Amino acid sequence: MHRKTAFGTVNGTEVPLIELQDGLCAVTLIPLGAAVHSLRVPDRTGALVDVCLGYDTPDEYRRHDACFGGTVGRCANRIGGARFAIGGKTYRVTANEGENCLHGGAEGFDKKLWRYACADSSVTFSLDSPDGEEGFPGALHTEVTYTLADGALCIDYRAVSDKDTVVNLTNHTYFNLSGHDSGRVDDQVLTVRAARYTPAGAGNIPTGALAPVDGTPLDLRAGAVLGERLHLPALAGSRGFDHNYVLDDGAEPVATLYSPRTGIAMDVTTTLEGMQVYTAGFLIERQGKGGVVYAAGHAVCLETQHFPDAVNQPSFPSPVLRVGETFRAQTVYRFSVR
């Protein structure tokens, strides 16, 4: 079932909170950024816990750059030098992180007001990005459908373009399975089924190599208590995890996050080949939902996506969407208790 309540306005347009319930969990979504605003799941006592960071007003989502819960595009992650070539033509896109383009440019999809259509157990958001927006070629039509059923939040992505273009869509929810208001995630356990990652150089742009995680703090295949890794000298430059993993073929789930405090576990499955693991090391201290103060290390983002800078790395799977093709991807976050 779904219901709508008032949340606020953007440039005079009403922005509702759209809630889906499945008898186990409840998720609230907003058309601003096609974003997850809250996600309430039962802990081991049966009490509902909101496991997502967020804000209380649309204005805060517009003003701040953390992308809380948002759909990130047209190209998530980084494009080195804010340029790329398709079909022999070079395109220059908005450089909004030094020399690089991050998360679609100055005003990515997470800042846009999407259209929406509700069904009993799902909401579909749609957005049309004009040819040349932020420098990207092609008029792009994007749809993101959230479905809540049986304790799982499923996100389906679809996109088509009238010119060859770059598409890399992800969801940027900040998860804290002890509760959005519980502070640092140091005691939570993260497992990532990936034997390789994409090492990066200057500006956090991949070198093009696929390197083994063996013998490094990035090896999460057996699971690790986050606090035992986040403060290691080897991760000081990234302030914890901010790395793209090459997901093992056929791995299901590709990742699991678990909170010993609440007993809540979250399994991630996806059709995509990569996942950026980000432990919010660069999150600026600020007030969030209910007056809670969020700060660095208060959440884990598990952003399934194409690899960073893939359009400039011939050895990576291509993020180019051709005319006449349809981009499709799916990611599922499934909750349980231990």
List phi, psi (to 5°) of 109. Answer: -65, -25
Catalytic residue among 19, 37, 133, 172: 172
Residue 65: pLDDT band (50, 70, 90) is confident
pLDDT in the model for residue 2: 79
Q: The domain 2-184+282-337: what is its CATH number?
A: 2.70.98.10
133, 143, 273, 303: which is the annotated catalytic residue? 303
Region 284-313: mean pLDDT is: 97
Burial 176-191 (b: 16+ CB within 10 A, else e): bbbbbbbebbeebbbb
C-alpha distances out from residue 149 to 5, 21, 50, 202, 332, Å: 21, 8, 17, 42, 11
Quick check: is 243 catalytic? no
0.75 exceeded by pTM: yes
Question: How many Å apart are CA 155 and CA 142, to the nearest integer?
Answer: 13
**Alpha helices (H) along 3-69:** 58-63
In the residue annotation, 180 being an active-site residue is answered as no
Give alpha helix (H) positions in the chain.
58-63
Burial class (CB in 10 A: 0-12, 13-18, 19+), 261: middle
Which tens digits make up the pLDDT trace of 196-249? Answer: 999 999 899 999 999 999 999 999 999 999 999 999 999 999 999 999 999 999
- Peptide bond before 74: cis, by omega within 30 degrees of 0? yes
Domain range list for the chain: 2-184+282-337
